[in-house]
Structure 1
Amino acid sequence: MKYILFISFYLPFILLANNKLQYNIYYNTPLAKEGLKVELTFTHDKPQDSTELYLVNRSWGEQNLLNSIVLNKEDNGGFHCYKKADKFKLVFYHPKSKKVKLTYRIVQDYNDNSYDIFNRPRIRNEYFQVLGHSFFAVPFHFAGGYDNPLLNITIHWIGFPKDFKIHNSFGTEQSTQHLKIHLWDELYHSLFAGGDYRIYHFKVQNYPVYFAIRGKWLNGFTDSLLLHNLQTSVQAQRDFWKDYKARYYTIFMAPTVTNTDSSFRGHSNTGSGLANGYMIQATNNPFNDINSYKYMLYHEMMHSWTGGKIQNKYEELNYWFSEGFTDYYTYKNRLRSGDVIFKDWLESFNQEVIKPHFKNPYKNISNYVLKDSFWLSRNIEKVPYRRGALFAFWLDNQIILKSNYTKSLDDLMRDILKECTVKKLKFTDDLFLTAVEKYLEKGVAYFFQKHVLAGIDIDFKNEQWIEGFEFNIQDSIPLLKASKQPNYIF
């Protein structure tokens, strides 16, 4: 799961009580050339002859996002406007007034779809896909510093053809949207899409779940197959948490690059959690892998809780939990739902978690160094996923043993969810360690410091495991063996 990059410099904003913003978004042809025209109207607290708007320039592994913003004098009555990328803002000069109307355009700033571009605005003639932090410029004086201000937003979609679907993190096929949403974790953590998407929906506990998909997928990736697996995963995840309160939830799926031949041998995908859902982007070719798709479903949906309702306080420092425990439950919930059998679960946990972790040259990097290095390489990025998953597996076993097979990590996870949501707390290491003490009398503070924060390998061979589990060393790598499928944990 990816997160908005919070800017480290001080923003001298003055929070307004109403924070009303109106965005008129215009369709022009050809869309790929003209871009999405955004007309923003708002009110200053006193007359001004210039306005600064905040817009993210660096986030989710992408740099120079303001390159996708076009400012034209012609769109703004001939008045001067420019970008200050180093300050993450757009600057407009205009007639002195309280009420201000400003216009900018969003374009695609690269030529074609790419294997390694996921989070830049995509605007083609047949569709668009733009993350909220690249779409909606917000006046500095509305943003409220590092707080999470509630914004009162109206969006009008103007001139779009009837068959051009409009779908986003807050609604589907609405020409006008009235939203009261928070800036950082909702508006700037959302996706807005439109065009040749096919939109399906089903209900869980009477609440809708939407599936927006585009592209002609190969290798048996039919809409019905993908939708069926999505339904199974949604039900399994909500059953695990015993949480059915999502009134609106949506999944987006779009191809990055489509090859009908074997010029790209393999399947590459990525997923990102969003407000009220998540998105999947993947290569589309004859090597499409349904197992990778299923993994992505379970992993990204888990982030609705671990990273969503249970929000990290210190982002990358807490990725051992929000990514690692998510990864552990990706495998565990797939097994529990019947998506995989135990033999396949065991094989995948060894081959996809344990082996890659112990072969990773950065596996022993400390959590504090990892914080500042996370986005630098794929190997570093995967450390908290696998280190956290292995720690979750160890902790699951210890709780089961300590409780004589009456409790598991599942109970601890639901406790943490309740603690964070009821008390409106953010997740921290201290919150986690305090919650563990309910299940393990001596706690795990020293073990946690040594193996999670310092990054020293767990001695899997000599730890205690539930009945049926043991570890054998092969080529210096501890691999999990099971004499039988445990009845309680799985």
Structure 2
Amino acid sequence: MDYHLSWDGQSSILKMDIFYNDHGNDSTVFVFGNPQAGGQPRIFDILGNLKSENGEAIEIIKSQRKIVVQHRNSGVKTLHAEIDGKLVPDQQRAKVNEAFRTTVAPGFFYTMGYQLFMYLRDTSYNQIGIKWDHWPKGMPYLISTNPEAKPDELQVISYEGSARNEIMIHMSSNMMITKRKLDGIQHYLVTSKSDTSSGVPDKLKDFMVTFMPSMRAFWNDRKAPFFILSAIPLLSEVPTTMTGMALPNGMSVRYRGPLEKDKLRIVAHEVSHNWIGVNLKIAQNGMENNWFNEGFNDYIAIYNLVKTGLYSKADFVNYMNYENLTPHYSSSVGEVPGDSIETNFFKSVLYERLPYHRGFIYAFYLDNQLRLASGGKKTIREFLQALNANRNSDGATVLTKADFVRVIRPFLPGKDISAEINRYLAGGQYLDFRKIKLIQGFSIQYEQQVPLLTLSDQVNLQQVFR
């Protein structure tokens, strides 16, 4: 299946010609948009001017976001569609709509794969091609599959879900691309000339040089074709914010305002996803294992922020206490089962944060147990490297909870990690830190049923996370 894209550089309309094969079927069913992403039940409304070649009949089932093309004969077909990517004036929806929809404005185009590509029930497709037929010549351009590619160079990606979703395409008259080789890998920092006051572009240059080598050293991984760090301001006038997504060999965030501590954490979190969440993840039916894919990832991001000095000892304690322990142990949904998260994820911020909190707190606990069991010789780093090596040796794209348990068993002999996962991460029971030993200098005391971490003055946290 090939997507041929066209845009004049000024309007809010993206034109698409989708070439596909009916594979002998009487009809082809396309499904557009993900209403769960950002809570957008009206996502189908941005799609219009649907046409099929040779007058083949099209049935639009709006309530199901379906386009059904009835075929007259077999062969290669073309479906024409247009996306209206204009900004919305509703300030309550402005951030969400721009973050979770294709954005098309004068001199500006930005989309992620899940916002652009249609889903087909036909399982015969295994690749998607992307190519521009018409575009504003000379306008800076970047596609995350190949940062050096020109708009009219065909890019081919897997049709598999995550590959189809995790792709970024950006074209803008204000785009700036800064190149820097780190550990022999070409890095692309993508920012915007439109941001003249926040200091984000310059601060991200320093972040890239400091944080990226730390992450690669943590994983002992210095192999990648390239890496993209993209930070593009939101066009909508909204309060300071940031939202992001990981990409294979990169990440992208949209933001407003300066790069304060929490935005720095978001950038680090999305960078860290290139290991946990993209290349190393635990299979799940919904979101029941996001304790690992999101929560463990967040812990490793903070771990490396401390290691590089970008987060202080006080920053770590504050993040642990007031962004994880306090909201989790005082949450009205803190003990719900993991398999209830997906249904409520976009309905409640409490459910949205639940897998992050559970995973972060358990990763902190596990890191401490690994250090204690080995006399300080092994940490969560060695375990995760072993887990990643297990994935590489098996050639698996995703792991199972059984893989997690099997790999950690030699690190913590005699400890029933499977039971802990079922009790604390799947079942929702709180870890009782009154019964848990931590490494020297770390202590947790309860205040009104909420555990809070303190570190002694002697603890050099940057050295602990070396």
TM-score band by shorter chain is 0.7 to 0.9
2:406 matches 1:442 = no
- Shift in Å at residue 133 of structure 1? 2.7
2:179 counterpart of 1:179 = no
Please give the residue correspondences for 1:3-402 in structure 2 after superposition, counting only pairs within 5 Å.
Answer: 21-28=1-8, 30-32=10-12, 35-46=13-24, 51-61=28-38, 62-73=40-51, 76=53, 80-93=57-70, 96-108=73-85, 111-112=88-89, 114-117=94-97, 118-137=99-118, 140-141=121-122, 143-144=123-124, 150-151=126-127, 153=129, 155-172=130-147, 173-183=149-159, 184-196=161-173, 197-214=175-192, 216-217=194-195, 219-256=197-234, 259=237, 267-284=240-257, 288-314=258-284, 315-402=286-373
Contact kept, 8 Å, 1:250 with 1:276, in 2: the verdict is yes
Matched residue SS, 1:480: strand
- Give the Cα separation in 2 of the matches to 1:290 and 1:70: 40
TM-superposed CA distance for 1:272, in Å, is 1.7
Give 2:212's aligned amino acid.
V
Query: Deviation of residue 431 (structure 1)?
Result: 1.8
Q: Alpha-carbon deviation of 1:446?
A: 2.9
Partners of 2:254 and 2:9 lie apart in 1 by 26
3-state SS in 2 of match to 1:185: helix
Between the aligned partners of 1:209 and 1:468, the Cα distance in structure 2 is 38
Whether the 8 Å contact between 2:9 and 2:107 is mirrored in structure 1 is no
Matched residue SS, 1:36: strand
Once the two structures are superposed, residues 438-469 of structure 1 have per-residue CA deviations (whole angstroms, 9 ceiling, x without a partner) of 11112223333322222222221331111111
Counterpart amino acid of 1:42?
A: Y
- Give the counterpart letter for 1:464 in structure 2: K
Match of 2:154, SS state, is strand
Query: Partner of 1:116: helix, strand, or coil?
Result: helix
- Once residues 102 and 369 of structure 1 are traced to their aligned partners in structure 2, the CA distance between those partners, rounded to angstroms, is 38
Distance 1:275 1:56, change over 3 A: farther
Alignment: residue pair count = 452
Q: How does 1:395-414 map to 2 (within 5 A)?
A: 395-414=366-385
- CA displacement 1:248-294 (0-9 Å, x = unmatched): 332332233555xxxx6x6322222233322212233xxx3421221
* Deviation for aligned residue 1:295: 0.6
* SS of equivalent to 1:176: coil
> What is the aligned-residue identity percentage?
20
The separation in 2 between residues aligned to 1:88 and 1:63, in whole angstroms, is 10
| RMSD (Å) for aligned C-alpha atoms | 2.6
Check conservation: 1:237, 1:298, Cα contact below 8 A.
no
- For residue 338 of structure 1, give the secondary structure of its aligned residue in structure 2: coil
SS at match of 1:455: coil
Indicate if the aligned counterparts of 2:50 and 2:79 stay in contact, CA closer than 8 A.
no
State the Cα distance separating 1:129 from its structure 2 match: 1.5
8 A Cα contact 1:115 1:283, kept in partner: no
State the Cα distance separating 1:103 from its structure 2 match: 1.3
Runs of at least 5 residues in structure 1 that lack an aligned partner in the other structure: 1-20
CA apart distance, 1:228: 1.9
> Normalized against structure 1, the TM-score is what?
0.84
In structure 2, the CA distance between the partners of 1:374 and 1:427, relative to structure 1 (3 Å rule), is farther
Q: Is the 8 A contact 1:209 1:250 kept in 2?
A: yes
Q: CA deviation at 1:231?
A: 3.1
- Secondary structure at the aligned position of 2:371 is classed as helix
Task: Classify the secondary structure of the residue corresponding to 2:162.
Answer: coil
How many angstroms apart in 1 are the aligned matches of 2:71 and 2:339?
A: 46
Question: 2:30 is aligned with what amino acid?
Answer: L
Match of 2:454 among 481, 486, 489: 481
Structure 1 residue 49 displacement after superposition: 7.4
Q: State the shift of 1:44 in Å.
A: 4.2
Offset at residue 130 of structure 1 (A)? 1.9
Report the Cα offset of residue 128 of structure 1.
1.5
C-alpha contact 2:3 2:128 (8 A) present in aligned 1: no
Q: Secondary structure at the match of 1:317?
A: coil
Partner of 1:13: none
Which among 409, 414, 417 is matched to residue 388 of structure 2?
Answer: 417
Q: 2:440 aligns with which of 448, 462, 467?
A: 467
Could you list the runs of 4 or more consecutive aligned residues of structure 1 that deviate by over 6 angstroms after TM superposition?
none
Structure 2: 5+ residue stretches without partners = none
- Cα distance in 1 for residues equivalent to 2:95 and 2:399: 34
- The whole-number CA distance in structure 1 between the counterparts of 2:61 and 2:353 is 34
